[in-house]
Structure 1
Amino acid sequence: MQIKANGAYGAVYGQTLIGANLIDGQHCGGDTMFNVLNPACSQDQVGVFPLATKADVEAAVRAANAALESWKATPLANRGQILARFARLLSQHRSTLSKLLSRELGKVAQLAQRELQTLIETAEFYAAEGLQLFARTESLDPLQAHFSQRRPLGSIAMISDSRFPSAAPVWSLIPALLCGNTVVWKPSEFGPSIAWALGRLLDVAGLPPGVINIIHGESQVGESLMQWVEKGLIQQVSFSGSEAVGRSIGEICGRNLIPHSLDLATRQLLIVMNDADLERAISDAIRLSFGQAAEPSQHGATIILQHEIAKPFRERFLKAVQEIRVGDPSLDHQLSYGPLLNPQKLEAFLAQRDWAAAEGAQLLEGNGRITRDKKPRNFIGDPDLGHYVWPVIWDRVSPDMKIAQVAISGPSASLIEVADLDAAINVAKATGFNAGNKPQVSLYTQNQQNIHRCQNELGATMCRYSLTEVSGLTEVSGLKGLDAYSRWHSMQQESPPPHLDSPPPPQPDLSGSLLDFSSLVPTDSTD
Structure 2
Amino acid sequence: MNLQPLRYAPDTTLSTMGVVKPTNKGVSLDVYWLSEKGGAMRMIHDTSGIRSGMTHVLEAGFEVMSGDNPNGSPSIRGYNIINGELRGASDGDTFESRNPAWLDDCLGEFPQSTKQDVHDALHAARDAFPGWAATPAPTRGQIIGNMGRLLMEHKDDIVRVETREIGKTLKESAGSVQEAIDTCLFFQSEGRRLYGQTVNSELPDKELFTYRRPLGVCGIINACNFPAAVPFWKMIPAIMCGNTCVWKSPQDAPLLSFMLTRIMHEAGLPNGVINLVHGRGRGAGQYLVDAVDEGLVNKISFTGSTAVGKMIGEICGRNLVSCSLELGGKNPLVVMPSASMENAVEGAYWAAFGTAGQRCTSLGNLIVHQDVYDDFMSMFMSKVESTRIGDSMRNDDVLYGPMLSEKYARDFVATLGMCETDGATKLWGDGIITEDNKPANFLGDASEGTYMWPHVYADVTEDMECFHEEIFGPVVTIVKARDFDHALHLANASPYGLSSACYTNDRLEAYRFKTGIKAGMTGINNSTTGAEAHLPFGGVKGSGNGTRESGIWVIEAYSYWHAVNDELSGKLQLAQMDVDEVHIEEADADYSALA
Does the alignment reach a TM-score above 0.5? yes
Matched, 1:239 2:298: no
Matching residue's letter, 1:356: C
* Pairing partner for 1:397 from 438, 448, 460: 460
* Pairing partner for 1:91 from 143, 152, 158: 152
Post-superposition offset of 1:208: 0.7
Post-superposition offset of 1:262: 0.7
Structure 1 unmatched ranges of 5 or more:
496-527
Matches within 5 A, 1:96-495: 96-140=157-201, 143-219=205-281, 220-293=283-356, 295=358, 297=360, 300-351=363-414, 354-430=417-493, 432=494, 435=495, 437-460=496-519, 461-462=521-522, 464-466=524-526, 470-471=538-539, 472-473=544-545, 474-493=547-566
Q: Distance in 2 between matches of 1:427 and 1:405?
A: 10
Post-superposition offset of 1:459: 3.3
Post-superposition offset of 1:143: 4.5
- 8 Å contact 1:243–1:264 — kept in the other structure? yes
Matched, 1:2 2:2: no
Change (3 A) 1:51 1:103: same
- 8 Å contact 2:499–2:522 — kept in the other structure? no
> 1:436-459, CA deviations, whole angstroms, 9 ceiling, x for partnerless residues?
x41411011112222222223223
Q: Distance in 1 between matches of 2:154 and 2:527?
A: 34
The residue aligned with 2:118 is 57
* Root-mean-square deviation (Å): 1.9
Change (3 A) 1:351 1:68: closer
Higher helix content, 1 or 2: 1
Q: Distance in 1 between matches of 2:221 and 2:442?
A: 35
- 8 Å contact 1:156–1:183 — kept in the other structure? yes
> 1:231-250, CA deviations, whole angstroms, 9 ceiling, x for partnerless residues?
11211110000000000000
- 8 Å contact 2:198–2:207 — kept in the other structure? yes
> 1:379-428, CA deviations, whole angstroms, 9 ceiling, x for partnerless residues?
23321111111111111111111221211111111111111011112222
> 1:197-224, CA deviations, whole angstroms, 9 ceiling, x for partnerless residues?
1110111111111111111100221111
Change (3 A) 1:161 1:217: same
Change (3 A) 1:336 1:213: same
- 8 Å contact 2:504–2:524 — kept in the other structure? no
Matching residue's letter, 2:285: G
The residue aligned with 1:45 is 106
Post-superposition offset of 1:489: 1.4
Q: Distance in 2 between matches of 1:355 and 1:213?
A: 40
Post-superposition offset of 1:351: 3.8
Q: How many residues align?
A: 489
Post-superposition offset of 1:98: 1.0
Task: Identify the structure with bigger relative contact order (alpha carbons < 8 Å, sequence gap 6+).
Answer: 1
Matches within 5 A, 1:71-90: 71-90=132-151
Q: Which has the larger radius of gyration?
A: 2
> 1:3-24, CA deviations, whole angstroms, 9 ceiling, x for partnerless residues?
222314242xx21121100111
Q: Distance in 2 between matches of 1:249 and 1:183?
A: 17
- 8 Å contact 1:102–1:112 — kept in the other structure? yes
TM-score (ref. length: structure 2): 0.79
Give the stretch that moved more between structures: 99-108 or 454-463.
454-463
Q: Distance in 2 between matches of 1:443 and 1:325?
A: 26
Matching residue's letter, 1:150: R
Q: Distance in 2 between matches of 1:355 and 1:206?
A: 50
Q: Distance in 2 between matches of 1:456 and 1:294?
A: 27
Change (3 A) 1:418 1:81: same
SS in 2 for 1:370: coil
Q: Distance in 2 between matches of 1:8 and 1:477?
A: 38
TM-score (ref. length: structure 1): 0.89
- 8 Å contact 1:331–1:380 — kept in the other structure? no
Structure 2 unmatched ranges of 5 or more:
1-61, 529-536, 569-595
Give the stretch that moved more between structures: 89-98 or 402-411.
402-411
Give the stretch that moved more between structures: 78-87 or 161-170.
161-170
Q: Distance in 1 between matches of 2:527 and 2:105?
A: 40
Q: Distance in 1 between matches of 2:417 and 2:471?
A: 13
Q: Distance in 1 between matches of 2:412 and 2:256?
A: 26
Change (3 A) 1:53 1:294: farther
Matching residue's letter, 1:22: I
SS in 2 for 1:49: strand
Q: Distance in 2 between matches of 1:227 and 1:368?
A: 37
Matching residue's letter, 2:86: H
The residue aligned with 2:47 is none
Change (3 A) 1:453 1:204: same
The residue aligned with 1:514 is none
* Pairing partner for 2:77 from 7, 10, 18: 18
Matching residue's letter, 1:192: P
Change (3 A) 1:295 1:174: same
Q: Distance in 2 between matches of 1:463 and 1:334?
A: 26
- 8 Å contact 2:389–2:399 — kept in the other structure? yes
- 8 Å contact 1:268–1:288 — kept in the other structure? no
Matched, 1:70 2:131: yes
- 8 Å contact 2:220–2:302 — kept in the other structure? yes
Post-superposition offset of 1:358: 3.6
Q: Distance in 1 between matches of 2:415 and 2:294?
A: 42
Matching residue's letter, 1:412: V
- 8 Å contact 1:109–1:333 — kept in the other structure? no
Matching residue's letter, 2:251: E
> 1:338-385, CA deviations, whole angstroms, 9 ceiling, x for partnerless residues?
111233332333345544234321111112221123323332332111
Q: Distance in 1 between matches of 2:510 and 2:127?
A: 51
